[in-house]
Amino acid sequence: MKLLNTNASNTKIMKTQKGTEYEIASLSLMPDSIICPSQIIAKCKEPCLVWAGRGQMHSVARSRQSKSDLWHSDKSLFLETLTKEMAAFITRCNKREKLAAFRLNTISDIPWEKYGIPQLFPQALLYDYTKLAARLGRTPENYKLMFSFSAAPAYQNQVKSALKTNVPISAVFRGGLPKTYLGRPVIDGDKSDLVNLYSGASIIGLKLKGGKAIQESKSPFIVDNPELIELARAA
């Protein structure tokens, strides 16, 4: 079983690496309460983009599920396979005179630092979004994290912890992006994760994507543009 996607078929990966010195490999697992442990308290399971885009294809869903099944059934084999594929990708990048980068939690939240993955490849850049605030500031220098926001009440201790750091915080907005949110400037986060990574104490604004059910979702993971709300009140 091949774990890594190395052809940039993910739209965000493609945008991020375009015109840069990087080539990016990604890993997409089928998230569950173990692989993505904060999905319940953050209430992001229902609007999760796992079923958006290519995720709607049965073949993609089966592939993701097979990888998750391997993670649960034989973690040692999974990690062995992953490290071999990462090493091969780095070799390929070197031949192309490119730098290797990895996003291993495309729709999951596994603390790869606990398994020694970023430590094995100090020459590569690893990056992810996380809903586990305890991970922030505790990863190796080559493994950079961004925090993922939700307004769910049970998740607010995580948000408060993240706001005490200079780590960029992503938020999904409905109705366009505001200029500021949570006392931080909002940037357009849909352009490039390499830009997002180094944006400091900002809000990475992500425009709501997906079908009608997601667009109309009442999940606290989705933030209604507060500027539009203020305009409606003033009208």
Q: Does the pLDDT value for residue 58 go beyond 80?
A: no
Q: Give the mean pLDDT of 163-169.
A: 97
Q: What is the mean pLDDT of residues 210-228?
A: 83
With b for 16 or more beta-carbon neighbours within 10 A and e for fewer, the 166-202 pattern comes to ebbbbbbbeeebbeebeebebbebbebbbebbebeeb
Please report whether residue 2 resides in a domain.
no
- Mean pLDDT over each residue of the chain, to the nearest integer: 91
Average of per-residue pLDDT across 176-191:
96
CA 105-164-133 angle, 5° bins: 30
Helix residue ranges, H only, 18-74: 58-73
6 in any annotated domain: no
Residue found under tokens 């912890």:
161
pTM of the model: 0.91
- What is residue 55's predicted lDDT score, i.e. its pLDDT? 44
The confidence band for 231, taking pLDDT boundaries of 50, 70 and 90, is low
Q: Tell whether 63 is covered by a domain.
A: yes
Confirm whether 143 is domain-assigned.
Answer: yes
In the chain, the number of structural domains is 1
What whole-number percentage of the chain has pLDDT above 90? 77
C-alpha closest to that of 143 among 135, 153, 133, 152: 135
158 assigned to some structural domain:
yes
Total residues belonging to the chain: 235
Q: Rounded to whole angstroms, how far apart are CA atoms 201 and 164?
A: 9
Q: Tell me if 1 is assigned to some domain.
A: no
Residue located via tokens 């970023």: 118
Give the closest residue to 187 by CA, choosing from 205, 173, 174, 160: 205
pLDDT band at 214 (very low <50, low <70, confident <90, very high): confident
Whether residue 115 is predicted with pLDDT greater than 90 in this model: the reply is yes
Residue 5 is assigned to a structural domain of this protein: no
Contacts of 50 (CB under 8 A, 6+ apart): 30, 31, 64, 107
Contact yes or no for 89/105 (Cβ under 8 A) = no
Tokens encoding 120: 């094995």
Residue range of the domain that includes 16: 11-234
pLDDT of res. 143: 98
Distance CA 196, CA 203 (A): 9
Query: What pLDDT is recorded for position 61?
Result: 85
Mean pLDDT value of segment 31-38 = 92
User: Kind of pairing, strands 203-207 and 143-148?
Assistant: unpaired
pLDDT at 53 > cutoff 70:
no
In a domain, 159, yes or no: yes
What are the C-alpha distances in Å from 111 to residues 132, 165, 229? 9, 19, 37
By the 8 A CB rule, do 124 and 90 touch?
yes
